[in-house]
Structures are given as structure tokens and as C-alpha cells.
Structure 1
Amino acid sequence: MSGKITKDQNVFKMRLSVDRTFDVVNLVLMIVMLLVFAWPLWFVVIASFSDPGAVYRGEVILFPKGITLESYRAIVKYRQIWIGYRNTIFYTVAGTLINLFITICLAYPLSRRKFMPKKIIMAIALVTMYFGGGLIPSYLVVRGLHMTNTIWAMMIPNALSVYNMLIVRAYFCNSIPVSLEEASTLDGAGPMQYLARVVLPLSKPVLAVIALYYMVGHWNDYYSALIYINDQALRPLQSFMRDLLVNNSVTRVTGGSLSPEEMQAKLYLAQTLKYSSIIVATVPMLVVYPFVQKYFVKGVMVGSIKG
């Protein structure tokens, strides 16, 4: 009997040793992955506050050097940034409202059992999810609708995400009890009243998550402007960001007939200006996210797993 107990203890110790080894290896891997993903973000932050010359020479690695706000002062003076901010905020707010409206208008009928053509409409929607017409047909359609160089080109072509619609539909199907619809019908509520007064208030988690998806998509969208927008007054923030990161447009615009020392200073400033502009463009989404985070797990998990 004592021999069996000793054997069991040895097996337990071996398993405990294996578990500890796994935990140590797992912890090391997680730390390495954290450093790999976190360091670039940290570098962007410290580079935006560092001396432009130190950043240009590669002296900024882990901590800022020669802390200065010169790049942020330059951004304040760069008029196009504020034009882009104004346009992007409008595109994000108005575009997200359009997205939510169309998504709900399609997801709600498809979640109703008595809606007869839902299989046909669902099939059509799924086809558009996997197959697209391509860039040239899309451009011809937008141009044919006279939306090029208008605000609508930034919002209407991508007004619906079928993937997001499927998440909302799954939430309507699985998280809204059928008994609520029967009770509201007995109380005299029509389909629109039931949707507005019962379904939507109970669907705040999934709608908040979908709204965040749409907002991030609009906020980061520069490709639509690259194709459809030529008017500088209508370009979003990300288009000007692209000029900063790819073309060094600020240095080109502000360069002019400068001395070699001034040109070198402008070149140094362009390095930190890239990082500070990234911070400026990222902060609004970072501010919005904490307000939606509490809905994130509940909205996505309930809407997708049960569907």
C-alpha cells in the first residue's frame, strides 16, 4: 500500500514539474511576444517627444532623448491636418450612422421566421461577401452615380458589411426571445414599434461593437479617398497622413528656398513629425474604445457563437 502511495506521489511530482516547465516556457514566450508587439508602439510615442536630430541619428531606442514638443507645434501649424480631422470626423460619424441604419434594416427582416424571401436575400448577400466586381467596375459605378469628388464617395460604396450584418442577425435570432414579439403583438405593437422599442434597446451590446468596427474602418480609410477624391478640401485625415509618411509632403511644402542648415532641421523634423502625426491620428479611437470595451465580449460572443 505504501509503495502505491509513493508511486502516486512520484507521478504527481512529475506532472507538477511538467506543468511548471510549461508555465515557465509559456511565460517567456508571452513576454517575448509582448516586447515584439509593444516596442514599436512605445517607440512611436517616445520618438514623437524626442529631439528630431536624435531620432534621425537613431539614438532613440528605449527612452526619449531631448524631450521637446516641436513636432506637435508643427502639426498645429499644418493646416491640412485640421482639414483632414474635420473631414474624417464627419465621415466617421455620418458613415457609421448610415452603416448601422442599413445593417439593421437588412439584419432584422432576415432574422424573422415569417419573412419569406429571406433565403434568397441571404444568398445574394453572401455572394457579395465572397465575390466583388473589382476596382474598375466599382469606380465606374461611383462615377456613374456622380459621387466622385463628393462626401458620399467616402460613405455610400461601403455602406454595408455583410459580415457585420450576419453578426447582428445572429444576435437578433438568438438573444431576443420570441415571447417578447408575441407579447408586444398582443399589446398592439407593429413590427416597426417592436424593432424600435424592444429589439434595439436589448441589442445595445452588439450594436456598440458593430459601431466600433464601422468607426475604425471609416477612421482608417484612405483608399477610398485615393480613388474617388481629388479635391483637397474633401480629403480625410489618413490621406494627409499618407503624404506625411510616404511623400514627406510637409518637408516639401515648407522647404522653399532655405539654407542647408534650415533644410537639415526640416529633414530632422520630418522624422518626428511622422510619429507625432500617428499619435494625433490614433488618440480619438483610443478615447472611444474604453466606452465600448464593456460591450465587446458580450456583443461579439453572443452574436457569433450562437449564430
Structure 2
Amino acid sequence: MRESLGERIFSGVNITILTLIGLISLFPFYYVVIVSFADPDVFLKRSFILFPESWSLDAYKYILSTNTFIKAVGVSGYLAIVGTLLSLMVSAAFGYMLSRKRLFGRKLLMIALLITILFNPGIIPNYLVIKELNLINTLWSIILPGLLSGWNALLLKTFFDGIPESLEESAYIDGANDLRIFFQIILPLSLPALAAFGLFFAVGYWNTFFNAILYISDSSKFPLQVLLQGMLVQSNTSIGEAGGLGEEIVPPETIKMAAVVIATVPILLVYPFLQKHFAKGVMLGSVKG
């Protein structure tokens, strides 16, 4: 069908407005990347640049030569990898358990799960629990509180509800036990859901900030986001002993922007590997039939 003049004008206006909104939204990211690669001499002469006359890696060299920053990246990487694997395993096991109708006490567990979604005990009770468990100043104080999310477990339960129980019955007839069924049948069929939630968990652990502020006072165990926050709010960017570059030749603003880029890139690199499963996983539970 041919569009009328009014429809073409309306589509053109919509495209123009959405394009402008998209460009405005992307500009902060563009500016951060440009400033991080700007030559220090050029940046010192011009406080605002849209495109640097010359490029430099001095800010990245300075950051990557500091032991403190490298340790923070290692801590965040450890949290993202270990935390994501444990959260996926616990959430998948709990969601699968709730999806099996033969489970004794299934309704009580479901009620308990819903209570955790509707009511939050608050910061102080959580802190007291972590303290009584002697987890203060340990990375487990960040991993364990977020190990199981009631909402995520509920969504995974909805996904597992769609797996026919006849598969399990056939496996039981062949002599498989519950663990073998879960690891060799259920989990391989759940890759779209696991990929989607794995990305969510990884982003959450990589960007962890508030729990680290609450439970960790040892600066050597600070994750990357806590260190980055300290750099952004302080007037200086002293983050450790740098080898080969003096801080005085690198503007603090370019160092901060480079730190933001380094903190963002790892998660961006993970997404393409999970993309084919992610589109299916985010739709789980949206259609019930």
C-alpha cells in the first residue's frame, strides 16, 4: 500500500526525532572514549574536544601500570566469574526444584520465595547477618547475599515448567538419577535462559558497588567500581605506584575517562558470545500457553 503524504511526513518526523534522541544518548559515550584517547598536550589546551587532533595511549598506559587498578580489575573479574557461576547454579537448581510438582512442600517453598520478593529486611539486618557469619572484609560478603534472587528463580521456574516431564520419565526408565537428569538433560535444554540470566548476573557482579562499600573496608579488596568512584569524586587520580609514566604529564580527566572505558569494555565484549541465546532467554515467561 502506498503511503499518503501525511503518513510520509509523520514517518519522516518520527525518524528525525528518534535519530536525534539516539545521537544525544550516544554522545556521552562518544565523548568519554574520545577524551580517553586524546593527546595530553591537546587536551590541556582545549578543555572541550569533539575530535582530537592527535591520539595518545598515555592515560591507558598510566592506569595499566598501577598495581591498585590491576588488583581492582582482578577482584571484579573474580566476582563476575565466580559469582555468576554460583548464582546460575543455585538459581537454576532452585527454579527446577519448584517446577517439579512431585516435590514435597512445594507450595510452602513458593510462598517463602514470594515473601522474599515482596519484603526486604533492610540494610542493617543484612549487615548484622554478614557480620555474624564473619564475612566482613571478604569477597564472599558480596557474592553470598546475591546468590539467589527470588524473581530470577521464579522466572527460571516458569521456563522449566515448559520442559515436558516425559523427558524425565524416560530418563528414569533408562536408570538415570535426579542429578544426572538435571545436569545432562535439563541444563543443556536451558541454555537460552542460562545465557540471559548469566549476562544479568555478570553485569551485576561486575558493577557491584553498594555492597562493597558496606562490607569491605580493606582497599586491596575493592572492586573496580569502588575504585572508579573514588577516582571520579576526588580531585586527584592517585591510584597507586605507576611504572614508566608520571601522573603530572597525564591530565586527570583523561585518566578518569580511560578508567571508565576499561570498566565498561569487558561486559560489552561478553554480549556478542551470548547474543544468539540472549534473544530467546529474555522472552522466557512472557508467553504461557
**Equivalent runs, 1:180-195 vs 2, <5 Å:** 180-195=167-182
Which residue number in structure 1 is paired with residue 89 of structure 2? 101
Using the TM superposition, give the Cα deviation of residue 18 of structure 1 relative to its aligned residue in structure 2, in angstroms.
3.0
Q: Relative to structure 1, is the Cα distance of residues 171 and 253 closer, same or farther in structure 2, using a 3 angstrom cutoff? A: closer
Q: In the alignment, does 2:154 pair up with 1:172?
A: no
Deviations, residues 89-138 of structure 1 (Å, cap 9, x unaligned): 11111111110121022101111122242222122112212221111111
- In 2, the alpha carbon distance for the partners of 1:223 and 1:250 equals 21
**Equivalent runs, 1:236-275 vs 2, <5 Å:** 236-251=223-238, 265=248, 269-275=251-257
CA contact (8 A) 2:68 2:239 kept: no
- In 2, the alpha carbon distance for the partners of 1:38 and 1:22 equals 24
Deviations, residues 245-286 of structure 1 (Å, cap 9, x unaligned): 1124524878xxxxxxx99x56x6111111000111111111
**Structure 2 gap segments, 5+ residues each:** none
Greater mean deviation of Cα atoms: 79-88 or 179-188: 179-188
Q: In the alignment, does 2:181 pair up with 1:199?
A: no
- In 2, the alpha carbon distance for the partners of 1:26 and 1:229 equals 49
Which residue number in structure 1 is paired with residue 117 of structure 2? 129
- In 1, the alpha carbon distance for the partners of 2:113 and 2:148 equals 10
- In 1, the alpha carbon distance for the partners of 2:103 and 2:154 equals 16
**Equivalent residue pairs, number:** 285
3-state SS of 1:250 partner: coil
Q: Name the structure where helix makes up a greater proportion of residues.
A: 1
- In 2, the alpha carbon distance for the partners of 1:290 and 1:253 equals 33
CA contact (8 A) 2:66 2:239 kept: no
What's the Cα RMSD here? 2.2
Q: Residue 137 of structure 2: which of 149, 157, 166 is its match?
A: 149
**Equivalent runs, 1:9-158 vs 2, <5 Å:** 16-52=4-40, 54-55=42-43, 59-158=47-146
TM-score (normalizing by structure 1): 0.86
CA contact (8 A) 2:33 2:257 kept: yes
Which residue number in structure 1 is paired with residue 197 of structure 2? 210
**Structure number with larger C-alpha Rg:** 1
Q: In the alignment, does 2:270 pair up with 1:288?
A: yes
3-state SS of 1:133 partner: coil
TM-score (normalizing by structure 2): 0.91
Q: Residue 216 of structure 2: which of 229, 234, 246 is its match?
A: 229
Which residue number in structure 2 is paired with residue 257 of structure 1? none
- In 2, the alpha carbon distance for the partners of 1:158 and 1:135 equals 13
Which residue identity does 1:141 align to in structure 2?
V
Greater mean deviation of Cα atoms: 53-62 or 105-114: 53-62
CA contact (8 A) 1:243 1:249 kept: no
